[in-house]
Amino acid sequence: MFIEYSEEQNMLRDSAERYLRDNYSFDSRQAAVKQASGFDADQWQTFAELGWLAMTFKEESDGLGGGALETMILCEQFGKYLVLEPYLESVVLVGGLVEAGAQPAIKEQYLAGLIAGELQGAFGYLEEGGVADPTYVQATAESSADGFVLNGKKTVVLNGPEADCFVISARTGAAEKGSSSGISLFFVSKDAPGLSLTNYKTYDGRSASELQLENVAVTSEALVGELNNGFAIATPVFSRAMLAVCAEAVGAMDALLTATVDYTKQRKQFGQSISGFQVLRHRMVDMFMEIELTRSLLMATAWKLDNNAADAEQCVAALKAKVGKAGRYVSHNAVQLHGGIGTTDEFSVGHYFKRLAVIGVMFGSRDSHLSRYSQLSTQLSVEPS
């Protein structure tokens, strides 16, 4: 059952927690935010040495063969310590797509580097005007003599400035409303002629790019997954990515609750610790309950993904919707209970809040996942069990 971890999984959680506690202070994190790359390259290298980057790749790819549970365990700790390094973008998204669908030549050239942390990736799948819908794709890839020519724009490509390579969605067939058909994925190296980036920082301390593709020529080997059906591999990778950010959210919420409990015990007003006031005590209990409900969904979802349960996708939608709600509740109240100090850049609480704000809408907002949950419930109930 999903409530039991294996020995290895317990070790992974403990060692990740220990390493980050001892080596990933909030102050050093804030120093890394100010660097051009937006993260600490030495940390990234250490993550690789600890086996974290290889953890969820298959053994035949020279990975360690972990599954969704391992993604969850690592990302929960990343969330707890507000880790900046692009695990989601480079490992979960681009690593996942390349492993699942890249052609042998590309895999050979890039996969080992992605697993070893020597190369970084970024996934360009969003376009201006339709960021809530990853099937809104206007960029085009036209067949040419020896491959494809890509044109168009991609917006908010997370980790774009540091990426050595990109996976980019483009239209190769007619658009159908609400359908992912006609969309293909392409592997594009950062130095491909015609590819230009506009880089910037994001509010949660990371970096991203706007991508412009002008007659970017790629060979037919650049196609990742099936032609016109890139979502066949993108959908499970998105599910894993949602699990990853939701695990991060649970870690971040945990950290906020701990900080809030500690702070309200220390903070004295009206001659007593404000943690003695019942209105604040109950608020913190409500934060706790939201976190525990989310944690239960998270653990169950990871287990269901690893076991290919029929309702795994439904659980992902439920989880993402729950994180949208719980993340707001917990972070808003953490800031509120800290008072003025919670609204400042120098204090950690506000940074957790910003990360949770980002996670809440990434890969679909709460509302979109609630409606996905309803649709999947209907489908499941009509299918014979």
Partner 1 sequence: MTDNVFRTDVRAFLAESLTPEIKRAGELMTSVFADFDATMDWHKTLYAKGWVAPDWPQEHGGTGWTLGQRYIFQEECKLANAPALFAMGLQMLGPMLIRYGTAEQKAYYLPRMLSGEDVWCQGYSEPGAGSDLASLMTAAVRDGDDYIINGSKIWTSYAQHSNKIFCLVRTSKEGKPQAGISFILVDMDAKGLSVEPIVGLDGAVEQCQVYFDDVRVPAANLVGAENQGWDVAKSLLEFERGGHNFTIDHKKQMAKIDRQASTQLSADGCLWKDNPVFEAKLADVAVDALALEFTELRMKGAFEAGGNPGALSSLIKVMGTEIGQRFNELSVEMMAEHTFVKQLDALLPGFEGEAIGPSCGLTTMAEYINNRAATIYGGSAEIQRDIIAKRVLHL
Residues that bind partner 1 (CB under 8 A): 1-4, 257, 261, 264-265, 275-276, 278, 281-282, 284-286, 288-289, 292-294, 296-297, 299-300, 315, 318, 321-322, 325, 367, 370-371, 373-374, 377
**Rounded (10°) angle between helices 26-34 and 348-361:** 60
Least distance in Å: CB of 281 to partner 1? 4
265/261 Cα distance (integer angstroms):
6
Secondary structure of residue 155 in the 3-state scheme? strand
Least distance in Å: CB of 236 to partner 1? 21
Shortest CA distance to 169 belongs to which of 243, 114, 225, 209?
A: 225
Of 18 and 265, nearer to partner 1 (C-beta) is: 265
State the sign of the Cα–Cα–Cα–Cα dihedral 254, 255, 260, 266. Answer: positive
Of 4 and 27, nearer to partner 1 (C-beta) is: 4
Other Cβ atoms within 10 Å of 48 Cβ, number: 16
Of 157 and 246, nearer to partner 1 (C-beta) is: 246
Token pair belonging to 336: 């509120």
Least distance in Å: CB of 178 to partner 1? 14
Least distance in Å: CB of 329 to partner 1? 12
Least distance in Å: CB of 320 to partner 1? 10
Of 71 and 275, nearer to partner 1 (C-beta) is: 275
Of 190 and 325, nearer to partner 1 (C-beta) is: 325
Of 33 and 291, nearer to partner 1 (C-beta) is: 291
Integer angstrom CA distances of residue 224 from 47, 210, 283, 344: 27, 21, 48, 44
Residue that is written with structure tokens 């979960």 in the block? 92
Token pair belonging to 309: 């349960």
Instruction: Please provide the DSSP assignment of 185-208 as one string.
Output: EEEEETT-TTEEEEEEE-TTS-EE
Of 322 and 351, nearer to partner 1 (C-beta) is: 322
Instruction: Please provide the DSSP assignment of 222-267 as one string.
Output: GEESBTTBTHHHHHHHHHHHHHHHHHHHHHHHHHHHHHHHHHHHH-
349/143 Cα distance (integer angstroms):
50
Q: Are 68 and 305 in contact (CB under 8 A)?
A: yes
Q: Are strands 121-124 and 165-171 parallel, antiparallel or unpaired?
A: parallel
Of 58 and 282, nearer to partner 1 (C-beta) is: 282
Q: Are 87 and 241 in contact (CB under 8 A)?
A: no
Of 141 and 250, nearer to partner 1 (C-beta) is: 250
Of 215 and 379, nearer to partner 1 (C-beta) is: 379
Least distance in Å: CB of 42 to partner 1? 36
Least distance in Å: CB of 65 to partner 1? 25
Other Cβ atoms within 10 Å of 292 Cβ, number: 13
Token pair belonging to 302: 């990871």
Secondary structure of residue 154 in the 3-state scheme? strand
Least distance in Å: CB of 378 to partner 1? 8
Least distance in Å: CB of 310 to partner 1? 14
Q: Are 253 and 330 in contact (CB under 8 A)?
A: yes
Least distance in Å: CB of 383 to partner 1? 16
